[in-house]
């Protein structure tokens, strides 16, 4: 393995920075390319066919250009829909992001779990299977809250956050049968951990939020165990669409250790 070969982290926007931070903590010397498909944002309101074709196509082109040692799809929506297709196309290890239903089921005391994802994520059979396997004896209440993606993106840009979108997501979960018993919430979109503070305020305390970032980082570390990393190799971020829009996030990206931005 070429020590300068990067890890490629892909997301529809900047929510995957939560995964980037976890990976960087475990693998401080690894070259990392963070790829944001801002031109395709948001994924949660697109059809399964659109998402699968877009993600597979982009990752195929990015893999040809950057020759990564591993690809992480740091997006629940893209993973639940396109993970199998991408694994069929690319010849490198692929790590996906799936809703953290298993750990949530292990920590809930009331047995009632809320799940906030995009509309596309919450309707997937993949989520049905996770529920059947890990939470069959629990109550899982799902809500597709795609508006939270925009809220998280706005927060990272220092723009006003749509508090109504946050309030609506929480109230919808609470209004479901058994929603008053929710004590654990799965944040099934990598954008949503960026809003933990705001969601906590709306839930009113007593709720534990669970996401998959640390588990993903551990999986990447395991798959690259024993490999050499060239810490002098470039780490940077690329984005589809208008580079100027991406550059508006330069301050936020710098806080995550990303100082070079490129157009894809």
Catalytic positions: 75, 189
Cα 214 to Cα 103, 113, 155, distances in angstroms = 12, 20, 22
Going by C-alpha positions, the residue among 45, 96, 88 that lies closest to residue 72 is: 96
Residue 81: partners with Cβ closer than 8 Å, 6 or more residues away: 48, 51, 52, 55, 120, 124
Strands (E), the chain: 7-11, 32-36, 70-73, 94-95, 112-117, 139-144, 184-188, 208-210, 236-239, 261-263
Extract the tokens encoding 96: 């996906």
- Here the tokens at position 171 are 């109230």
The Cβ of residue 43 has, within 10 Å, a number of other Cβ atoms equal to 27
Three-state DSSP class for residue 135: coil
């Amino acid at each position: 393995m070429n020590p300068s070969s990067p890890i490629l982290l892909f997301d529809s926007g900047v929510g995957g920075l939560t995964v980037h931070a976890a990976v960087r903590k475990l693998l401080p010397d690894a070259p990392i390319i963070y790829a944001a498909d801002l031109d395709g944002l948001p994924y949660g309101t697109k059809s399964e066919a659109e998402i699968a074709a877009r993600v597979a196509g982009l990752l195929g082109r990015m893999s040809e250009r950057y020759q990564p040692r591993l690809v992480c799809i740091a997006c629940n929506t893209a993973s639940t829909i396109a993970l199998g297709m991408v694994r069929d196309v690319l010849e490198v290890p692929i790590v996906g992001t799936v809703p953290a239903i298993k750990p949530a089921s292990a920590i809930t005391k009331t047995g009632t779990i809320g799940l906030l994802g995009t509309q596309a994520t919450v309707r997937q059979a993949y989520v049905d299977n996770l529920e059947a396997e890990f939470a069959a004896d629990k109550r899982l209440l799902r809500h597709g809250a795609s508006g939270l993606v925009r809220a998280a993106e706005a927060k990272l840009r220092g723009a006003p956050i749509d508090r109504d979108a946050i309030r609506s997501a929480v109230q919808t979960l609470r209004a479901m049968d058994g929603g008053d018993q929710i004590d654990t919430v799965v944040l099934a979109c990598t954008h949503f951990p960026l809003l933990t503070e705001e969601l906590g305020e709306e839930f009113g305390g007593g709720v534990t939020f669970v996401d998959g970032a640390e588990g993903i980082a551990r999986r990447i570390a395991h798959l690259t165990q024993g490999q050499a990393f060239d810490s002098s190799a470039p780490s940077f971020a690329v984005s589809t669409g208008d580079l100027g829009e991406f550059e508006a996030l330069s301050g936020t990206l710098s806080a995550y250790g990303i100082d070079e931005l490129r157009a894809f």
